[in-house]
Structure 1
Amino acid sequence: MPPKIIHVGLGGWGGDWARRAIPPVTTVEVAAIVDPDEETLHAARAELGLAEARALPSLTDALAAVEADAVVITAPAVTHAPLALEALAAGRHVLVEKPFATSSQEADRVVRRADELGLVLQVSQNYRNYPAPKAAQRLLAEGAIGELAGISIDFRQWDNDNPFETHPHYRFPHPLLHDMAIHHFDLLRKVTGKEAVRVYAKVSDPSFSKYVEEASAVVTIEMTDDLVVSYRGSWLSRGEPTPWAGAWRIAGEDGELLFTSRGGGGPEADPIAQDRVTLRRPGGRAEPVELERQDLYGRAAGLEIFADAIATGTVPETTGAANLGSLALVEAATRSAASGQVEEVRIP
């Protein structure tokens, strides 16, 4: 039988999980949904066609009311670690949205608890589950462009038109570094196989920004083996928008690798229409790389990996322990933006 899950957090992005990410995954069964907001919970229950007894206001209530193997947490970020710890204490495996804790120290406590109990703790770093970064990772591992000389990453989107300045995204803590750049920093670790060592970050937003905290940043990252990465990201860019995974240029001794991934579009759009990988050889020869298609992408692919880990004991790529490096890199960038100094990346 497929593992049964309790889905916690149905507002906003969590509601999108319920409508678009979970239904395609046939290897899980939703046992219950949880949200403290009565209106949100009622609307989600009606849309999903669930019995009233399977829609609960708290994880505590759900754990007592239904049989379940795991908990999927898509509630606000400040609740991730407490909810994960409650689920683990009840003997349930956990899949949690990023960032999976408010600090690397808090995250480390959750990781240690999962290890103590022998339970799966997986972080949803959904940008990994697309063909372009997978191909880039493979090509770099194979030495397709030789020794790496440098990497530049650009993320450009315009998200400043909502007429209500109280819009939730405008009030997110560190909306660029914590909410978006963590995807790019996590991909950086994936495709290179290296860890960040030191970071210098500068944030500066124009007066027209509706964001309470930084919506744009320029970050210099020193990785292991002295690899230097230049990252530029903005929610306030009038430039040509990049796909959500950004536009990457990876320079090497024997050429250059360019890639981008995770385009936009609605539910009917091809999820990999904008995934591209190009190898540019000395002399300017550009060679497009054929990408493998998958049955599922993004969050749905991650949920399928989670279900397989529960069923077979395999270890997911994005365990809580494996994700600590991404969280530590985001923290170091945030500290650097505040201090104006180069900051060390401290992985617990």
Structure 2
Amino acid sequence: MSSPSTTVNLAVIGAGAIGIAQLRDLKAHASARVVALAETSAERGPAVAAQWGVPEWVPDYRTLLARADVDAVTIALPNHLHAPIALEALRAGKHVLLEKPMATNASDATELMHEATTRGLKLMVGQNARFAPEVQTARRLIAEGALGEVYHAKTAWTRRAGIPRIGSWFTQKKFAGGGSCYDIGVHGLDRCLHLMGEFDVVSVSGQTYSKLGPLGQGAGTWGHGDIDPTAVFDVDDLAVALLKLRSGRSVLLESSWAAHQEDADFNGTQLFGTAGGLIFPPLRLFRPGKYGYSREQVEATPDFVNPNRMAHFVDVVLGRVESYVPLAESVAVQRILDAIYASAATGREVRLDG
């Protein structure tokens, strides 16, 4: 690294909607210098590079991995490419910011963790939900004992009509690995376990559904990927799971891209404790008080972590802070995702405690 104490030279791999969001967020950090962009589309690549002031566009990401002046890469690609390209980047000596899901199976996720640890490189999964001010505030309230002993939680991200472009890679299992649970359910899952301070799940009972997507219903507008009108919709558009933690606590997880529900989009978590409970959004506390039951809306403010996950990653690479997304937790999330789909496929509870 040319100036390890002051600057990180980054290359962004992928110029879709997430890649553009990464570029935007990296611009907010004075020590981040995006030196190149990799994108296979000869139209989108140069256009995005010009829009965000990136000095070079290349069609092949391997060109960037071979460059000595690239310290770190960020990966914003379809799910099936996450693990193999992250592994190549680590073996090329680059720090890596990887979008969720970490991989499409726990074995690949574990290999990534081993590679990064062995090589002394920074690898972080962009679990952006835990960076939200509401989550940081809720975590502080829990640590202060406002809820007492937290013993159960419900967490969800459900959309009425939010399938990311039917016929795109999102709706094909061979590219996405999974559907709503992989795409948005993972945010609710990671956020909830982060708040509970426990990722040690011992059993999972899951069920997945593919009901509206195959009918062409519930389509959203997300993403810039190509559409294949002949592609079979073979991922879940709704998923549910019951998780039991080693501590004896429990979590109900729900995700949907498309469902006939009242809210167009609900993305929140509810925690139940012996002294009170909380739910967001917006962040509200519920607990008994001297003059009856108290319902209090709490202002959400960032605690000690920069809400900009890309800026946080740059600080991690520079050695200024420890990663707010420990690798072991990301691998645990991948194991849980695997278990949800395995349980849905077999109709049986899946044990994760050996």
Task: Tell me, in whole angstroms, the C-alpha distance in 2 between the residues paired with 1:255 and 1:49.
Answer: 49
- Report the TM-score, using the length of structure 2 for normalisation: 0.83
Unaligned runs of 5+ in 1: 261-275
What is the aligned partner in structure 2 of residue 249 from structure 1? 270
Task: Tell me, in whole angstroms, the C-alpha distance in 2 between the residues paired with 1:41 and 1:296.
Answer: 32
Task: Tell me, in whole angstroms, the C-alpha distance in 2 between the residues paired with 1:224 and 1:113.
Answer: 28
Specify the SS of the correspondent of 2:43: helix
Report the CA distance between 1:297 and its aligned residue: 6.6
Report the CA distance between 1:100 and its aligned residue: 1.9
Please list the CA deviations of residues 221-261 of structure 1 after superposition, one character each: whole Å capped at 9, or x if unmatched.
111221122222221123233766x232222222221123x
1:325 corresponds to 2:332 = yes
Contact 1:103 1:331 in 2 (8 A): yes
- Count, aligned residues: 325
Specify the SS of the correspondent of 2:63: helix
Residue 7 of structure 1 aligns with an amino acid whose one-letter code is V
Please list the CA deviations of residues 177-223 of structure 1 after superposition, one character each: whole Å capped at 9, or x if unmatched.
11111111111210001122211111234354654311102211111
What is the aligned partner in structure 1 of residue 235 from structure 2? 213
Report the CA distance between 1:123 and its aligned residue: 0.8
Report the CA distance between 1:107 and its aligned residue: 1.2
Task: Tell me, in whole angstroms, the C-alpha distance in 1 between the residues paired with 2:67 and 2:118.
Answer: 26
Contact 1:156 1:233 in 2 (8 A): yes
Unaligned runs of 5+ in 2: 1-5, 218-232
Residue 328 of structure 1 aligns with an amino acid whose one-letter code is R
CA spacing shift, 1:206–1:100, aligned 2, 3 Å: closer
What is the aligned partner in structure 2 of residue 134 from structure 1? 136
Residue 290 of structure 1 aligns with an amino acid whose one-letter code is E
Report the CA distance between 1:277 and its aligned residue: 1.6
CA spacing shift, 1:125–1:346, aligned 2, 3 Å: farther
Find 2:197's aligned residue among 189, 193, 206. 193
CA spacing shift, 1:43–1:66, aligned 2, 3 Å: farther
What is the aligned partner in structure 2 of residue 265 from structure 1? none
Task: Tell me, in whole angstroms, the C-alpha distance in 2 between the residues paired with 1:73 and 1:59.
Answer: 10
What is the aligned partner in structure 2 of residue 94 from structure 1? 96
What is the aligned partner in structure 1 of residue 167 from structure 2? 166
Task: Tell me, in whole angstroms, the C-alpha distance in 2 between the residues paired with 1:331 and 1:293.
Answer: 32
Contact 2:163 2:257 in 1 (8 A): no
What is the aligned partner in structure 2 of residue 286 from structure 1? 295
1:235 corresponds to 2:244 = no
Task: Tell me, in whole angstroms, the C-alpha distance in 2 between the residues paired with 1:138 and 1:224.
Answer: 23
- The root-mean-square deviation of aligned C-alpha atoms, in Å, is 2.5
What is the aligned partner in structure 1 of residue 181 from structure 2? 177
Task: Tell me, in whole angstroms, the C-alpha distance in 2 between the residues paired with 1:67 and 1:319.
Answer: 26
Residue 59 of structure 1 aligns with an amino acid whose one-letter code is Y
Report the CA distance between 1:12 and its aligned residue: 3.5
Report the CA distance between 1:40 and its aligned residue: 2.4
1:311 corresponds to 2:332 = no
Q: Percent identity?
A: 26
- Report the TM-score, using the length of structure 1 for normalisation: 0.85
CA spacing shift, 1:132–1:121, aligned 2, 3 Å: same
Find 1:76's aligned residue among 70, 75, 78. 78
Please list the CA deviations of residues 44-85 of structure 1 after superposition, one character each: whole Å capped at 9, or x if unmatched.
22323444xx21122221233561211111122212222222
Contact 2:135 2:191 in 1 (8 A): yes
